[in-house]
Structure 1
Amino acid sequence: MALVKAGLVVLDCAEPEKLAGFYKELLEAEETHESANRVEILGAGGTRLAFRRDMNATPPSWPRPENSLQVHLDFVVEDLDEAERKIVGLGGRPLETKDASGPHEERGYADPAGHSFTLRCVPPTAPKSG
């Protein structure tokens, strides 16, 4: 048995219930824990996130250098445009960033509390049928 098991990513924010709601909708997640200062969710794909109340939380400024990157999440999607519409509809916003190098197309976003995350489109490996 492992001494240390994988935990979860915790995002500090002023309103954990509100931010958890954003990610619950985005990840089709279920809430696994809620207390006065913390909400935890489990996404349909197994992603575990928690949101902790911090009344002094300052949104990251990435890609600007001051108070830059505090945490960064990557999510894999099949359709970037559809995912972007959902993010914007939930209160997220696209970030202006330069195209990232690499084999996969990706786009940067900020959640309603300002945490950055990336959607990465991974081409299907199976041959197209029909």
Structure 2
Amino acid sequence: MPLVKAGYVVLDCAEPEKLAVFYKELLEGEQTDATANRVEIQGADGTRLAFRRDMNATPPSWPRPENSLQAHLDFVVEDLDEAERRIVGLGGRPVEAKDAPGPYEERGFSDPAGHSFTLRRTPGTAPKQG
């Protein structure tokens, strides 16, 4: 067993309960723990995220070129269009950004609290026909 194991990716936000619902639904997961200032979830694939209350949290302003991305989440999907519809339905929004260089088709989004994340098409997936 390793000395140190990965725990959670933690996002600061003003309303952790609401943001946890967004990611729980997106990842088809479940809430695993909650306190007054933190909510933890685990996605169906085992991804563990936590949301910590910070009343002064401000999201990064990416993709504006003068500001850094800071940190973001990457999710892998087979159908970008279907995933985008789900994200928007849950309260997320697409982010205007240039096409990413490299072999993967990607789309950028922000969650309801403004944190950036990317959907990447599963490598090796054939393009849609028709």
Measured in 2, the distance between the counterparts of 1:23 and 1:36 equals: 18
Per-residue deviation at 1:68?
3.3
Instruction: Tell me what 2:63 maps to.
Output: 63
1:9-28 map, 5 Å: 9-28=9-28
Going from structure 1 to structure 2, the CA distance change for 1:37 and 1:97 (only over 3 Å counts) comes to: same
TM-score (norm 1): 0.91
1:1-130 map, 5 Å: 1-65=1-65, 68-124=68-124
Measured in 2, the distance between the counterparts of 1:81 and 1:113 equals: 22
Per-residue deviation at 1:60?
1.0
Q: Which residue identity does 1:17 align to in structure 2? A: E
* Length, aligned pairs only: 126
Gaps of 5+ in 1: none
Deviations 1:42-87 (A, max 9, x none): 0001110000000000011011245532321000001000000000
Measured in 1, the distance between the counterparts of 2:66 and 2:38 equals: 27
Going from structure 1 to structure 2, the CA distance change for 1:14 and 1:104 (only over 3 Å counts) comes to: same
Q: CA RMSD in A?
A: 1.6
Q: Is the 8 A contact 2:78 2:125 kept in 1?
A: no
Measured in 1, the distance between the counterparts of 2:123 and 2:3 equals: 37
Per-residue deviation at 1:4?
1.1
Point out the more displaced range, 82-91 or 67-76: 67-76
Gaps of 5+ in 2: none
